[in-house]
Chains A and B, each alone.
Chain A
């Protein structure tokens, strides 16, 4: 499945160290993360602490799970993360459930990565009414 052109991701293989000056919500003290590619299609990654196995969160391409997704960063966040010519990378934190219909994806607070500076930030969007718990597969049947 092609990746939406709006989400450029660092290109050098599966392992990229990213600096999160403010951590992410709930893990404010974790400042260095690596992004591990989980699939060949470049739509699923693990965002994992660089020097520990925990925390490790699954992140997905939000443009793929929510066609029409148009995140607009609040001004302060735009200044903090920068605005590289090649664009910013957006990823959405997913809570995967055994029954995929119960899987939720946070569209309200994307992980935003500046591929040029290799910094990241979790941003809470103020516009667009995106849910914290979006269920992209709510109509999927349980696979047995």
Chain B
């Protein structure tokens, strides 16, 4: 991974048409401005991770798994539905 040192208002250019500007440096986070062509998706990584996890969750959550989880979260046996 390329690591470069930048001050506020300085930037890096990626390829011909993407520029990342450091707009503000705070105590525990930096603000970035990103100039890129329309159509280039720019997403926070946790958004991608959340999307992937939601899809996995929808694929993985079978009844057997739910029963296992119930056993763990509920020490007393659940009542039988009529």
Contacts and interface: CB of A to CB of B under 8 A. Distances in A.
Interface of A: 1, 24-27, 38-41, 43-44, 46, 54-58, 60, 64, 93-98, 100, 103-104, 106, 108-109, 122, 124, 132-133, 137, 140, 143
B53 interface: yes
B78 A100 contact: no
Size category of the binding interface on chain B:
20 to 34
Interface in B32-82: 44, 46-47, 49-58, 60-62, 64-66, 68-75, 78-79
B61 A132 contact: no
Nearest to A96: B65
B46 A56 contact: no
Interface of B: 44, 46-47, 49-58, 60-62, 64-66, 68-75, 78-79
Given A96-B60, A124-B46, A57 B66 contact: no
A26 B51 contact: yes
Contact of B74 (A25, A39, A132, A140): A39
A58 B53 contact: no
